[in-house]
Structure formats: C-alpha cells, structure tokens
Structure 1
Amino acid sequence: MHCTPLSELRQNPSDLPWVVQKYGGTSVGKFLQVIASDIVPSYLETNRVTIVCSARSGETKEKGTTNQLLRAAEEALTTGSNKHLEIVKEITADHLKAARSVIKNPTILEKLEAQIEKDCLKLRSFLQAAEIIDEISPRSRDIIAGIGELLSCSIVTAILQDNGIDSQLVVLNNIIDREFTTLDQEFYDYLSQQLGDVVRQCGDKIPVLTGFFGNVPGSLLTTIGRGYTDLCAALVSVGLDAQELQIWKEVDGVFTADPRKVSDARLLPNITPEEAAELTYYGSEVIHPFTMEQVIRAEIPIRIKNVENPAGSGTIIFPEDQKLVLEGAVSTAATANDSRQKLPTAVTIKDNICVLNVHSNRKNVSHGFLAKIFATLDEYGVVVDLISTSEVHVSMALGSDMVQANLDKAIVDLEQLGTVDVLRDMAILSLVGKQMKNTVGTAGKMFTALASAGVNIEIISQGASEINISCVVDKANALSAMKAIHKGLLSAEALQEAVL
C-alpha cells in the first residue's frame, strides 16, 4: 500500500499543534487496527501526532512481553536452565503472529518479519553472553527490557504504513549523549529537548518512539521503574510544547471507583495531579507520578482516553489554579471543582498488603524505638505504605512488591526491640480528594459507612497533604468496604445531597 505523505492530508502541517499519544501494552496488544485505522487518522487534519508505545501485553500485564523479558534475564543466570531461550522463542512467535494477523501488504510484512527476527536474535545472543559471564548489570537488564518496546513500535510503525500513513520508527537507545550522575531537573530538561529535536527530524512522517530511552543515571528500571514509557511520552510533550499528552488505556478515564467492581462509579471529567498521584500509589493505575510532574510544570494537560471509545472525552489531569480552557474538555478546572467541592474525588483499593506490628519491650525510649525500626527496614529494603504509631507501638502496612525473604530477616532483627506479629491478606482502602481538607465531617462519614457495612479497621492514617484518608482492612472485606464508602460519599445521590 502506498503511504500518503501527511503534507497531502492537511494544510500547513508545520503550523498545527502537536499531540503526543502514549499507548499502553494491552492497547498495543489488542487494538492495533483501531489505533492505525481509526484513532491516529482522526487527529491528522488538526494535529501533528507523535506516538510512544509500551511493550505488548496480552490479557494481563503479568503475561506481557516485559515480564517475559525480565524472567528470561533471571533464567539466563540460573545454572542448567534453558528457559531463557524458550522465552525468546515464545516472544518471537508472538510478535510474528501479531504482525501476520494485521499487516496485509506483503512487502511491509516481509520487512517487519525480518526486523522482528533480527531483534530477537540479538536478544538471544545478549542473554547467552550474560549466561557465559554469569552476570547481568542493572543497565544490561534495562537493555533486555527495552527490547519489548522496540518490537512493539516496529509493529505499530508497520501497521500505520499498511493503512497508508507514512510513519517512522524512532529508537531512543542512544539519545542521551552526555554524562549525568543524578536524575534531576537538569537531566529532564536536557532529555525533553533531545526528544523534541529527534521528533522534528522526522519531518512529515508520524514518529513512533520506543518508550525505552537508554542509559540513565542509576539504570532506568531502578530509578524510574516500569512506568518509564509514560515519562518518555511526557518529556516528548514538553520538548514539543504539545497541545496535550494523551494516555490511551482500556477505560474511559478515571472513575470515582473501579467501574468493574462498583456498578454506579462515575467518570470524572477532570482531576488534579495530586489526586492522580495518590490514586496511582494506592491502587488505581492512573499515570506515573514523574510524568505528571514534568508535564504539569510545562502547563500541558494530560488526557486519559479509551481505545475502545475514541470519541469519549476522557479525564483531564491539570491543576486547579491552571486556567486552561481545552478544546473538547468538559469545563475549566475552576467550574468543575465548583460542582464537587463538597465531595471526595475517588475511593481505591490496594490489595495484597500485610501489616507488621511491633510492640516495644520498653527498654527503648520512643525516639530510639522508632529510629531502630526504620533503620532495620531500610537495611532490608522493606518499604512502608502506611504507618500508625504510639510511644511503644508501631503498625505498618507493607506493599505487595515486598520480598518475603527480606521481611523475614527484618522480623528477626525487630524481635530484639519487642513483640512482632504479621497480619496477612489485608488491603489498603484510600479515600482521595483535593477538597476534603475544606470539608468538615468527611472522615466521620467514611468510618460510619465502614461500620454500617460491618468492616473492621486495622490501621487509620491521614497524610499531611490532607487529600488522602486511608485505612487497612481485611482483604475479604475490601470490596464491600469500597462499595459502602462509594455509596455514602461518592455516588450520584451523595453528589446531589452535597449540592443541595
């Protein structure tokens, strides 16, 4: 199929505002044809489009390419294991199958197949080299994980071409050509400028950027984590001074609760960056906090969109005091906040939590007691999500990503300070809202709703920011707790009552 130059599809393309579209793994895994034939073309007459992609995922992230790649890295260091080679075969077959299912032009398909096989062969060789030297450094692990974005973006580039849209694969592995020792604002400013420059060099072609952007201080996975593709998209947006950053998912936006669990959850037209950050940390996957910080600094709005409902307006993330009037937006921040100023924003659940209780043996004064607890947790890399303290007792909620062996070692040391017990199969329930600090009685209504539902509370915590009230409950009661809070504080009936 002939690829029509974008300059023929629109007038004065260089005068059009940029839109950066970031597609998550499951979107790329299941909705390639929608992206290429529906979503991207719908923006070409009014915008210049740049695309950033995550690695492909299947039905869940657990079965996604990045997880497979990281597992392959582990297996390469396992004596006598050939599973890393089997994983490479599976990844190769999966991407070839995906390519053959969507690409119709034989010339484009042949080129794509050759590229996929070449990249997977390099991956195999890299893992075999790691097996020989019996070592994978943090930066090597980054490179292995980054193969996922390379394969994903190759397919997206090809399907755009197959649909007559001239596109260009942009691999960002070597975009950082200066030495940095810290991940500070100077580094982000430099990287956003580099990304903006490389996109502009594509001319009229649609750039498809790998979310993996190479060698960063301290390694990409260690310092930024798995959300680095979101950060990449944010920095591209800043470098281009984009009209908006779009994060495409499989939901219509951010809801007052998980719509899969709470049937009357409402779509939020907009939320603040602070609210989005709290919701992300406590269980609702919104967007990587680093992403929001960089884009909001540049006064660029973030819009959460649904690949299954491209016409929907989604949810916009921007500050309350930022008077942005956005085309297609429901309202400005000020008017939107007027309608819900007496209500929290959303309730969310973070599962697979355990609670660690430490009761002092009274041989330690309070400041020494706390200092020794946190020194011990730091030594073994145990991260605390929530904490409640008294002079002689500390209760802590620990996240699901905790390494059990490290916790076991920490418990042995903590037992020198007093009695230690662990409660498992718990959940953190968080009520989030920027306006809660200005509303009397929110906490009371929350705990009344939980009591009415017969839910016992293990820990209660309110952050200094006053936009989050969290508590720890038994995992078995988490869903009923969320429904009770939503009904009492966030439902359409609660909204109507608050307005009246």
Structure 2
Amino acid sequence: MSDLSSPPSPLSMSSGESSSSSSLPGTPPNLHQNSIDPSAKWLVQKFGGTSVGKFAVKIAEDIVSQYLDQYKVAVVCSARSGSTKALGTTNLLLKAASEALSQKKTPGSPNGTETPNGIFGRFNASQPATPLDGSRPRSKSSPKSDSAGTPLLPISCAPDTSFNRTVDVLREEHLIAARASVRDPEVLKELEDEIDRDCDSLRSFLFAAQVINEISPRSKDSIVGYGERMACKVITAILRDRGIDAEYVSLENVVPACTEDDEETLGQIFYDRVAVAVGNRIRECGPRVPVITGFFGPVPGSLLRQVGRGYTDLLAALAAVGLQASELQIWKEVDGIFTADPRKVPTARLIPIISPEEAAELTYYGSEVVHPFTMEQVIRKKIPIRIKNVENPRGGGTVIHPDAEIDAAAASLESERIAVANGWAYKPLSALSTSPPNSPTRRIKQALKAPTAVTIKENIVVVNVNSNRKNVSHGFLAGIFGVLDRFGVVVDLISTSEVHVSMAIEDGEKRVSKVVKELQKYGSVTVVRDMAILSLVGKQMQHLVGIAGRMFTTLGQGNVNIEMISQGANEINISCVIEGRDAVKALNLIHQSCLQVKPEGPKGRGM
C-alpha cells in the first residue's frame, strides 16, 4: 500500500494527477521553477526525436533553464531517436506491433499460437505479476498493473516471442540513455522503474493483440504512444537532476468526448476543443515545468491515420494555442530556414523571418520546415513560430511570423541587404512593426524585391498521359483524377491540355506501376524517372518583373533541361521538373542568379 502522505512522483503522474502549488510537500526548495510573475507569458518548446536522443542534457542545461525566469515554459517531446535509424523508438514500436501479428502459427491452440497453460491459464491471486520476459520477478506486494493502470500478465502467460526481444532492445536503449544522463541515484532508480513498468505494459498490450490476432488503428496509436511516454519521463528526470522542478504530463486521455461530426473527420472545431483541454491540463502543473507527451490519442479514426507521424508538432501547436503562448519554438539540429540547403549550396544564408505562406511552399517542395496544417493552428491565433538549433541555443533562428506587414518589411530588408552590401544588420521585430510610415524601413517596401529561397525535391517521377481521343476532354480529366484518388496519389505538379496531362509525383515503383496500368485505359502513358522538382519561392516575387525569365534563362545557360513548368496562382512559387542528376548544379545556379546580387570570387559574375 502506498504512503498517502507522500506527494505523487513527478515521473509517474497520470493524466489526471498534478501539482498546483509552489509549496509542494517534498519538493526541494532549490529546484528552479517557472516564473511566478502573473504577467509572464507561456513559451512552448518542442524537441524532436534526434534532439531528445542526442542532446537531452543540453536541453536541460542550456535551453530550458535559460527561459524560466522570463517565461512559463512548457516542453513537448517526440519519441527519442536511437543509435541508428533502425533503433529509433517509433521504428522499434512499429516493428514490435508487426511481430505480434506475425508469430509462427502452432496447431492445437484456439488462436493458432501456443502459450503455456493455454490462453486461459489460471491466475493465482497470490502469484506475483511479472514482465512477460520473466526478467525481473516482482514481490507479492507488487501491484498487478503498471503506472497507467494496464494489467500485467502472470508468469503462466509469458510466451517467448520475437516482439519481446524487440521490447528488450527498446528498454535497453532507454536505460542506457538514463544511466548516461541522470546523476542522482534516487532519480535514476525511479526513472529505471518507470521504464520497466512501461515496457511491461507494452508487452502485455502486444501479447493481448497476439491473442486476438488483431491490432486496430487505435491500438497501433497506443503502441506508438509508448515512445513519447518514455522520452518525456527521461527528459523529466534529467531536468530534475539538473535542478529544474519538472513534471511528466501524459495527454493520453485529454481528448474531449467526440461528437458525431468528429467521427467522420477531425475538423477545426475538434482541434480547438483539444487546444483548450491541453491548455487547461498544463496549467494544473502550477509552477512546475510540464514535460508533455506529443501523443494525445485516442482520436476518432486513429491519430496516425488522421495526422501521421508528425502529430507531436501538431500537439505543440495546440498547446501554444491553448496557453495563448507568446511563441512556439521548434528545436532542430539546424540554425533555421536557409535560402537553400546549406549542405548543397555553400553560399546559402539563414533567413531571419519568413511568412507562413513561404514556409508552407518550402515544406511542400522539399525543405523540412513545419507541416502547413500544424503551422496553421498557431498562425491563425497570431502566435509566431521560431525554428532554433539545439546545438546553437544562442542563435536567433528563423521566425515564421503571422503579421503580414512585418513579413513584407523583413523580406524587403533582406532584398535591400542583397542589393546594397554584405553584412546588413537586421532590425528586431519590434522595430519593423513600429517604424513610421515614411521611415527608410517602410520605404524599402517599394524597393528591390527578391525571392526568399530555392529548394529541390528529389526522387520524382513524371507520368505523361496522352488521350486516345475516344474520350471527350472532361471525361478524360475526370478519369485520370479518379485513378489518382483511388490510389491516394498526391500530385506535386501538374500541367494539362485538352488531350494531354503531365504529372510529377513522388516515386514508389509498386504504386506507380499500378497507377500507370489504370491510366492506360485513358490513353498512352509514358513514365520518366529519376527527376527532381526545383522551386523558387518568395512572397515578393509577384512584384518582381522578369524573375521567371531569369530563372529559366539561367537553367538554359547551365545546360539544365526542363521537363515541365508550373507556377501557382498565388505567384509565390515557380517550379519546374529537371533531371535528378542536375539537382545540385541547378540549386547553385539559381541561388547565384536569383538570390545573390554579388557572388564572391570566381563563382559567377555580378548581375
């Protein structure tokens, strides 16, 4: 029986438990807490799997701790990465789920799987619950369930299965990370126990799925959710070990009761309700720093199906909305958004501020920025997003700002910097937004405009369909789009005429082959592989006459062949399809021609 006089552990609090006072019993007085200033704004910091896996100590020592006196900080974590991609937490969890349904069938048992004493093995009340791998028998006084309330199976129901070995790997990866990062023996012991309990619970869940021979979409959500649970507990322990009063917050049960409309699709009303619920739950932590699971299922229709593996970014956005945060920070392993991929274009520059529309275009066409839907949640509430580098916490990063006026001024300042000289000192956002109408900053809006960035999306295939003229034009196009819809194909670029359609899509040999076979009903089909989409993006390009001509002339002079061309109706993106082997060359040519006025050295001539 637990000691009711002791405060609940900050590592094992369920979604319904929290602390709400700065004078928590048992809390060391020297732990650093969130600002108690009533005027202090919330700041939501989201850390990706690689950051959690490689830089957990740095997150505690150099990032979170630096904001606590000025802001109320909320931390959102993805499942941690592993020492290799295959050992990444989410990949291991999905592998374990697959293994639970692919065990060798053994005749003679009701579900085709042999288990000790049958699947209805007796459960002796005096028999201790144990992990399914039998590695750490519990005492008779041990609870029959884990910290989340999931029942643990008795020893008699512990088969030797391959998913157990995968869970062992998962457990070992987290224990190694814990022991390498947590110095306090008591905090480490509590964290190790939590990791063991979560892995025991996961084994029980997978075993139950094996017994019924089914894993539903929502069950898969729950399996994947274990990754965020363990990652957040590791980060919570490291924060407390470094003197920060952190509290683990599980959002597994935070989703409000769903309406009939929610069952069909997750609309904005649903996300607004989730944002309110998340904000309320976080505020219950009082002055403690909440460390929040990115997983917030179950949701109607499955979180993985409705949102995808980027649900942690979405949760961070909803938390920022629910808390009315001053800013959403997304911490990566890059300094921010660049004018081009700096790994491929040595002259690429960091973009200090960018519009949501430009960031969305860059995401669609190859740059990993922020998913447009996630971005929309905070931008519509006028909350800026800042992309920052875990390895360079003092860097300014890139701000995706919702204020159109600031966007225009900042973009113009960037253009002027390109035109006048290197080393322009950027003005802070406050200066941009408060500059008088006739100031130089405002007048720059009417000056030289330039694109914001150039990006490349590789592994593209172009599918050309030429009508056999037996179909009228509207039937021809309707048939093609019907095929694309049936196979769930997303078209990146499309060019059409009455009897001809060219489409650029991501390559996937099996899927493309099936689509081509169906499209042949509507005409002759040709496929061109190993292509890439080159996109020039800039909100100010609609005011720049001749930019498209300069782009295509540059490619022509560089002997880069263009397969197809497309420009969006919003005029902030000009894209073309080129051969994949020319991708890096084309990136450098366009960056030099359209985003640099004074190339340095022998790389090119000034314009």
What is the TM-score with the length of structure 1 in the denominator? 0.92
In structure 2, the CA distance between the partners of 1:252 and 1:341, relative to structure 1 (3 Å rule), is farther
Deviations 1:64-86 (A, max 9, x none): 22223223323333353955333
* 1:405 Cα deviation after fit: 3.3
- The answer on 1:343 being equivalent to 2:453 is no
In structure 2, the CA distance between the partners of 1:494 and 1:241, relative to structure 1 (3 Å rule), is farther
Aligned to 1:125: 204
Aligned to 1:13: 37
Rounded Cα–Cα distance in structure 2 between residues aligned with 1:423 and 1:6:
64
Note the residue ranges of structure 2 that are not aligned, 5 or more in a row: 1-25, 106-160, 411-425, 436-440, 601-605
Note the residue ranges of structure 1 that are not aligned, 5 or more in a row: none
Aligned to 2:585: 480
Does the 8 A contact of 1:20 with 1:237 survive in 2? yes
For 1:164, the aligned partner's letter is G
- The answer on 1:75 being equivalent to 2:99 is yes
Aligned residue among 488, 503, 527 for 1:422: 527
Deviations 1:287-345 (A, max 9, x none): 12122111111111111111111111111111342559999658637959849961111
1:93-492 paired onto structure 2 within 5 Å: 93-180=172-259, 181=262, 182-321=265-404, 329=429, 332=432, 335=441, 338=445, 342-400=449-507, 402=508, 404-491=509-596
Aligned to 2:125: none
* 1:146 Cα deviation after fit: 1.3
* 1:11 Cα deviation after fit: 6.5
Does the 8 A contact of 1:25 with 1:61 survive in 2? no
In structure 2, the CA distance between the partners of 1:11 and 1:39, relative to structure 1 (3 Å rule), is closer
In structure 2, the CA distance between the partners of 1:5 and 1:260, relative to structure 1 (3 Å rule), is farther
For 1:378, the aligned partner's letter is D
Rounded Cα–Cα distance in structure 1 between residues aligned with 2:526 and 2:220:
36
Rounded Cα–Cα distance in structure 1 between residues aligned with 2:447 and 2:388:
22
Moved more, 265-274 or 406-415: 406-415
Deviations 1:403-438 (A, max 9, x none): x43332222221121111222222111111111111
Partner SS for 2:313: helix
Does the 8 A contact of 1:25 with 1:54 survive in 2? yes
Aligned residue among 41, 54, 59 for 1:35: 59
Partner SS for 1:27: helix
Moved more, 28-37 or 71-80: 71-80
For 2:474, the aligned partner's letter is H
Partner SS for 1:313: coil
Does the 8 A contact of 1:360 with 1:419 survive in 2? yes
Bigger Rg, structure 1 or 2: 2
For 1:34, the aligned partner's letter is K
Moved more, 304-313 or 9-18: 9-18
Rounded Cα–Cα distance in structure 2 between residues aligned with 1:74 and 1:281:
30
Does the 8 A contact of 1:4 with 1:165 survive in 2? no
In structure 2, the CA distance between the partners of 1:331 and 1:458, relative to structure 1 (3 Å rule), is farther
Does the 8 A contact of 2:182 with 2:188 survive in 1? yes
For 1:98, the aligned partner's letter is A
Moved more, 277-286 or 217-226: 217-226
Rounded Cα–Cα distance in structure 1 between residues aligned with 2:358 and 2:276:
28
In structure 2, the CA distance between the partners of 1:9 and 1:387, relative to structure 1 (3 Å rule), is closer
Deviations 1:98-150 (A, max 9, x none): 11110111111111111112112222222222233232221112111111111
The count of aligned residue pairs is: 495
Partner SS for 2:598: helix
* 1:8 Cα deviation after fit: 6.6
Q: Identify, as 1 or 2, the structure richer in helix.
A: 1
Deviations 1:210-267 (A, max 9, x none): 0011122221111111211111111111111111111111111110001111111010
In structure 2, the CA distance between the partners of 1:194 and 1:320, relative to structure 1 (3 Å rule), is closer
What is the TM-score with the length of structure 2 in the denominator? 0.77
* 1:453 Cα deviation after fit: 1.9
Rounded Cα–Cα distance in structure 1 between residues aligned with 2:28 and 2:596:
49
* 1:358 Cα deviation after fit: 1.2
Rounded Cα–Cα distance in structure 1 between residues aligned with 2:446 and 2:76:
35
* 1:184 Cα deviation after fit: 1.6
Deviations 1:44-97 (A, max 9, x none): 111110000111114776652222322332333335395533322221111111
Rounded Cα–Cα distance in structure 2 between residues aligned with 1:78 and 1:341:
62
Rounded Cα–Cα distance in structure 1 between residues aligned with 2:522 and 2:269:
43
Rounded Cα–Cα distance in structure 1 between residues aligned with 2:240 and 2:353:
34
Moved more, 309-318 or 404-413: 404-413
In structure 2, the CA distance between the partners of 1:327 and 1:491, relative to structure 1 (3 Å rule), is closer
For 2:96, the aligned partner's letter is A
* 1:157 Cα deviation after fit: 0.3
Rounded Cα–Cα distance in structure 2 between residues aligned with 1:323 and 1:343:
16
For 1:381, the aligned partner's letter is G
Does the 8 A contact of 2:35 with 2:72 survive in 1? no
Rounded Cα–Cα distance in structure 2 between residues aligned with 1:13 and 1:243:
15
Rounded Cα–Cα distance in structure 2 between residues aligned with 1:33 and 1:11:
22
Does the 8 A contact of 2:541 with 2:572 survive in 1? yes
Rounded Cα–Cα distance in structure 2 between residues aligned with 1:200 and 1:327:
34
For 2:354, the aligned partner's letter is I
